[in-house]
Amino acid sequence: MLEWSASDLSRAIHARKVAPSEVMAVWLAQVQAANGAVNAIVSQRDPDDLLVEARGLDDRVPSGWLHGIPFAVKDLVATAGLRTTWGSPIWKDHVPARDDLVAARLRAAGAVIAAKTNVPEWGQGSHSFNPVFGVTRNPYDLSRSAGGSSGGAAAALAARMAWVADGSDMMGSLRNPAAFCNVYGFRPTWGLVPHDAEGETYLSTLSTEGPMARTVEDLARLLAVLAGENPEVPFPRALPDLLTGLEGGMRGCRIGWLGDWGGAYPMEPGILDLCESALRRMEDMGAIVEPLAPPFPTEKLWQSWVTLRAMLNAGGKRALAEDPAKRALTKPETIWEIEQGLGLTAQAVYEASAIRSRWHAHAARMFQRFDAVVLPSAQVWPFPADWRWPQEIAGRRMDTYHRWMEVVVPASLIGLPALSVPLGFGARGLPMGMQIIGRSGADARVLAIGQAWHRATEWPQRRPPSLASAPASR
């Protein structure tokens, strides 16, 4: 059962071939067996309470696609009655009174909210460690990072402690951990999954929630749960049909290969080689792959990105820096972000937005020629878990705590749909992934390309070494 996709598990539950109480017992046993080493699941509810809730669902008419499936929600999402910390010691004992929108939609679809998945403090930095729960480790090599900020979600999927998971992505937090953990992570077109109606909602157009899974069908089904208009926030987007064209295949697909953006993005050895091997396989599947020259100056993209990100962090988290007690309990990277934002001028923010606007227009013209463009999902292989972040890549020093993952910025800055697909493993046995990026609104097309890749490769079926001796079942 642990090896089934979430879709297959759902079909079995709906056909009453498997009872939710059986599923819960399997999940609890797997968390007990695997989580001590990986530390992906946090704030787990009492097992007896979970079994009682699951038994109550055994004979109930299914309420939705996720009926009876245990679900661990990312710890950046408030969950009613279940501790939510944002990885911060300030909130280490916080139990929300109500759900955020993501958790509410998961419950409405029938999920049993059983636990949370670990994150970096405040979700900042693509390495999931915090002073409340510690570090999440990569199931494929426990000495290595699982990435972040959805590192707990990615590691739980890889270690078979989740059938499907939610994540979020401002910079690359759905794609980087998916690449590190040999699973899929999909950043949807910005606005497809709406924000909660809290704080500032007109300028905050960089981050989004999205799905993670071991199959693309599961991604599409979970995205259909998470997406849909929230009338209380601006810029609504209609929910596209994500499943009808999922089996569209790769033949005739036009793909632009951006590589390392003309050398602008330093890469550790082997990453580009693995991507190019995957692209040759895509050509064998009928895709048309064309190398692309750098389409836009990366220094301009980075200037726009760090400015707008700092502005939003300063606006939303200013109290963490100004309150001495909170400041003492806040990671230095977050304080740095806030202070950068507080020093910005209105003109700097305007210029950053103008760069963003020009890149959006240029990308739209690029997608008149291509169905998708491709970049590596990360610039480094999963790095040692005791690092805060990689400070050098291929001899080039990183000047900020997040510069090492700059390759995700082109899609994030203008809200493009971007799917990280697993590519297999490097010489040291570590996983890596590749971003398939589409035009704004082309989520269904990007997922269809990903589905063709999954059908041909099924990389997530290769289980971590700690699970390799366990019997597989389909």
Model confidence pLDDT, tens digit, residues 345-364: 999 999 999 999 999 999 99
Question: Which pLDDT value is given to residue 471?
Answer: 40
Band of residue 474 on the pLDDT scale cut at 50, 70, 90 = very low
Helix, strand counts (H, E) of the chain: 14, 17
Given the residues 74, 116, 317, 331, select the one marked as catalytic: 74
Band of residue 139 on the pLDDT scale cut at 50, 70, 90 = very high
Of 161-165, 241-245, 309-313, 456-460, minimum mean pLDDT range: 241-245
Specify the 3-state DSSP secondary structure of 416: coil
Contacts of 315 (CB under 8 A, 6+ apart): 199, 200, 341
In a domain, 474, yes or no: no
| Domain count within the chain | 1
Given the residues 150, 173, 207, 377, select the one marked as catalytic: 173
Specify the 3-state DSSP secondary structure of 172: coil
Mean pLDDT of 208-234: 97
Question: Which pLDDT value is given to residue 468?
Answer: 56
Range of the domain at 415: 6-467
Residue 200 has pLDDT above 60, yes or no: yes
Q: Yes or no: say if 412 and 398 are a contact pair by the CB < 8 Å rule.
A: no
Question: Which pLDDT value is given to residue 63?
Answer: 87
Q: State which H helix or E strand residue 419 sits in.
A: strand 418-425
Given the residues 149, 150, 207, 412, select the one marked as catalytic: 149
Alpha-carbon span 193 to 214, nearest angstrom: 20
Share above pLDDT 70 across residues of the chain, in percent, rounded to a whole number: 99
Residue 466 has pLDDT above 90, yes or no: no
Residue 425 has pLDDT above 60, yes or no: yes
pLDDT tens, residue by residue, 259-299: 999 999 999 999 999 999 999 999 999 999 999 999 999 99
Q: Is 74 marked active-site?
A: yes
Between 390 and 471, the higher pLDDT residue: 390
Residue type for 427, please? A
In a domain, 450, yes or no: yes
Question: Which pLDDT value is given to residue 47?
Answer: 98
CATH code at position 392: 3.90.1300.10
Q: Which phi and psi (to 5°) does residue 438 adopt?
A: -115, 175
Q: Is 21 marked active-site?
A: no
Question: Which pLDDT value is given to residue 470?
Answer: 43
Q: What is the pTM for the complete model shown?
A: 0.97
In a domain, 202, yes or no: yes
Q: What angle do CA 45, 129, 71 make, to 5 degrees?
A: 30
Q: Across the chain, what does the average pLDDT equal?
A: 97
Question: Which pLDDT value is given to residue 153?
Answer: 98
In the numeric block, which tokens belong to residue 224?
A: 């259909």
In a domain, 330, yes or no: yes
What angle do the packed helices 271-284 and 443-457 form, to 10 degrees?
Answer: 90
In a domain, 473, yes or no: no
Residue 467 has pLDDT above 80, yes or no: no
Write 348-356 long-range contacts (CB < 8 A, 24+).
348/307, 349/307, 349/308, 349/311, 351/307, 352/303, 352/304, 352/305, 352/307, 352/308, 352/311, 353/304, 353/308, 355/300, 355/301, 355/303, 355/304, 356/304, 356/308, 356/413, 356/414
Alpha-carbon span 209 to 168, nearest angstrom: 4
In a domain, 245, yes or no: yes
Residue 472 has pLDDT above 80, yes or no: no
In a domain, 239, yes or no: yes
Mean pLDDT of 17-22: 98
- The sheet carrying 288-291 orders its strands as 164-169, 208-213, 184-187, 418-425, 431-437, 372-376, 254-257, 288-291
In a domain, 127, yes or no: yes
Q: Is 7 marked active-site?
A: no
